[in-house]
Structure 1
Amino acid sequence: MKIPLVDFSPWNQADDKSGRKKVAQEIVDACKKVGFVYIINHPVSESTLDEAFDWSRRFFELPMEEKSKAPHPEGWAVHRGYSCPGLEKVSQAVSGGDDENVVKQLRQIPDFKESYDIGSDEDRLQPNQWIPEESLPGFRAFMTRFYWDCFGAGKEILNALAVGLDLEDEDYLVKKHSGHNNQLRLLHYPPIPAEELEKERAARCPAHTDWSSMTMLFQDDCGGLEVEDVARPGTFVPAKPVKNAIVMNIGDLLQRWSNDHLKSTYHRVTLPPLSDRYEGASCMTRKRFSIPYFLSPDPDTLIECIPSCMGENEPAKYEPITQADYNRMRASVQY
């Protein structure tokens, strides 16, 4: 399986209707067959991405006591602030009758990563946890701009998906996303003895799907992201870094929304390729940075089948559910 690559530049030409339609169809075809696609020549500039990774590195280089001044709140309800290695455990579990035992079993293999989660400052349900300005002057201002820059690109991709799905209203999906329920995540995978990962005493990020409508990922040159081959379940292929590209993938909500036309594909972060795996004589993995941006509809949005994805011979497969209710099922076992 190969992850398709789409040049987004024709989409930005308002008078090139055929070019825009071609881009939309290429993205939707990739999301139907693979669930992942590289998007190049997108609206987020190279200089902005370089600056975002620089700020991310500077944040994670801060002493633990400084990062911990913006802690992830206890519990699962608020998904903001700094999470130290081992706090989060990514899984496919949903809340049920035996959550305590599920969580205990999952946490036998900790996730060795640290993260910092940012949202809209206007989201009262998910208040941001900012570090003090003096800890890293300029960090908050840049990340606030970057959050909305990413949403600008995300809206264009949502519009392209709507066109590729033959919806009459190009803004059908965008109207469900105000931008205030999205999540910008800075991720750092610190060096770790490769043996810890090889012998499964620790993990970086286990195989999972995303809960959101879609994810836009920016990654450094380290590698380690893998995507499940939809034709060979259990087999994963590398999503090799492409400079300045968005790695876009469909989330569970958009798979549900599209009546399974679009695929929310399992993916994971593990050891980098052999050529980049080790650093130094002690066989430590290279540190890795990535920046995912999760687009989610507003909490009270009802997720029910997209009109063009059902018909007389293809009824809706899922009962309607609000974004808030779906998020609650998934988040309650993660922290």
Structure 2
Amino acid sequence: MATVDDSAAQDADIRIPLVDFSCWDKGSQEERLKIAQNLVAACKTVGFVYIVNHDISPDKLSQAFSWSKKFFDLSPEQKLSAPHPEGSSAHRGYSWPGLEKVSQVMSDKDDPELAKKLRQITDYKESYDIGSDQDVYQPNVWIPEETLPGFRAFMTEFYWECFAAASNILRAIAIGIGLEEDYLLKIHSGHNNQLRLLHYPPLPAAALESEQFARMPAHTDWSSITMLFQDDVGGLEVEDINRLGYFVPATTIKNAIVMNVGDLLQRWSNDELRSTSHRVTLPPLSDRFAGADRMVSERYSIPYFLAPDVTSVVECLPTCVSDEKPARYLPITQGEYNRMRSQMHYPDKATEPGTGAAY
């Protein structure tokens, strides 16, 4: 089992494992195999893992959060110079509070009443989504260079540094489940990934407690894997695999990657690797509230979603299928799967900034 950092999940029913990648680049074959085995063990049991001593420097992470704050400090008019496209086919540009609704419901058409009920609770967050500039399916929507000089150049560089770190994680997973090191990378060119800057504005704790607003409702990710960088405010919670519906804090470890298995990798692995539900809600510590209104501190996080190329076919991996455990899923392209999962998150028509109401 991977090394556990007890301070990272004190008093929790589950422990999120911690895997040290310091020996990955120059370690022996045995050391690399051990890292891979520990990582896969965490993916099979919890579905979440802290990764430390990865290739993204603390200085680069500090710069990324600084640029994120600069972006969200812009005026609404400046941020809306790069609006998220209408509908759910592209995840690029700026999404204002109330536009996106995170949910496990696949589509408004599957359960219209439930979808309508879920949309009555606004996800009080704003985001800015970035992809590869070579992605012809989801073109980037950049704010003008004069609005925030240097932003595009930094985020483009950071996007590819994240892909390099994610590539090592995919290599380790492949080794850990008995595949050739680059097996999974063959259909992960990096051009179908998503870098997301997330800002949760401050709001009264009572607004979350009464479910007038949500920060990020419980969900699983659609990707192969997600790498998350978070500030020290807290609020990320992971579902206890032994008590479904019960969530425990994923406490921040400075500069660590919080990596989790996505639904596609669970599907790929024939359910051997676990895509675990998680959410963002009230931070666990009382000192995160301030003033008579018990204002919840603002929170910043940066997830990076790693996905296969759009036309690639996802089918159960050869080492995860046997006569005793036949394939549970039919093959599907990443593009087909993405369309199926994205329909609920964004309405068919754009919504008015700040209201969450269709116009």
Structure 1 residue 52 corresponds to structure 2 residue 64: yes
Displacement after TM superposition at 1:106 (Å): 1.5
Cα pair 2:223 2:262 within 8 Å, conserved: yes
Displacement after TM superposition at 1:124 (Å): 1.1
Equivalences, count: 333
Displacement after TM superposition at 1:157 (Å): 0.3
Could you say what secondary structure the match of 2:265 adopts? helix
Cα pair 2:108 2:115 within 8 Å, conserved: no
* Cα deviation digits, residues 156-183 of structure 1 (max 9, x gap): 000000000011x110001110000000
Determine which of 183, 186, 207 is the counterpart of 1:196.
Answer: 207
- TM normalised by structure 1 equals 0.98
Could you say what secondary structure the match of 1:178 adopts? coil
* Cα deviation digits, residues 122-142 of structure 1 (max 9, x gap): 001101010000110000000
Displacement after TM superposition at 1:13 (Å): 1.4
- Shift in alpha-carbon separation, 1:266–1:98, aligned structure 2, 3 A: closer
Q: Give the distance between the partners of 1:177 and 1:7, measured in 2 at CA.
A: 23
What is the RMSD of the two structures over their aligned residues, measured on CA atoms?
Answer: 1.0
Cα pair 1:218 1:292 within 8 Å, conserved: yes
* Cα deviation digits, residues 187-207 of structure 1 (max 9, x gap): 000001100001111100000
Could you say what secondary structure the match of 1:12 adopts? coil
Determine which of 297, 308, 318 is the counterpart of 2:319.
Answer: 308
Displacement after TM superposition at 1:73 (Å): 0.6
Cα pair 1:99 1:333 within 8 Å, conserved: no
Matches within 5 A, 1:3-18: 3-14=16-27, 16-18=28-30
- Shift in alpha-carbon separation, 1:215–1:274, aligned structure 2, 3 A: same
Could you say what secondary structure the match of 1:249 adopts? strand
Displacement after TM superposition at 1:98 (Å): 4.5
Determine which of 106, 116, 121 is the counterpart of 2:128.
Answer: 116
Could you say what secondary structure the match of 1:134 adopts? coil
Could you say what secondary structure the match of 1:299 adopts? coil
Could you say what secondary structure the match of 2:189 adopts? coil
Structure 1 residue 207 corresponds to structure 2 residue 218: yes
- Shift in alpha-carbon separation, 1:133–1:96, aligned structure 2, 3 A: closer
Cα pair 1:276 1:286 within 8 Å, conserved: no
Gaps of 5+ in 1: none
Determine which of 74, 77, 88 is the counterpart of 1:65.
Answer: 77
Structure 1 residue 86 corresponds to structure 2 residue 72: no
Determine which of 46, 50, 53 is the counterpart of 1:34.
Answer: 46
Determine which of 245, 250, 264 is the counterpart of 1:253.
Answer: 264
Displacement after TM superposition at 1:102 (Å): 4.3
* Cα deviation digits, residues 196-232 of structure 1 (max 9, x gap): 0011111000000000000000000000000001111
**2:291 aligned partner:** 280
Q: Give the distance between the partners of 2:343 and 2:229, measured in 1 at CA.
A: 27
Could you say what secondary structure the match of 2:203 adopts? coil
Cα pair 2:101 2:122 within 8 Å, conserved: yes
Cα pair 1:159 1:174 within 8 Å, conserved: yes
**1:75 aligned partner:** 87
Which one-letter code corresponds to 2:282 in the other structure? L
Identical positions, percent: 65
Cα pair 1:222 1:276 within 8 Å, conserved: no
Displacement after TM superposition at 1:100 (Å): 4.7
Displacement after TM superposition at 1:332 (Å): 1.1
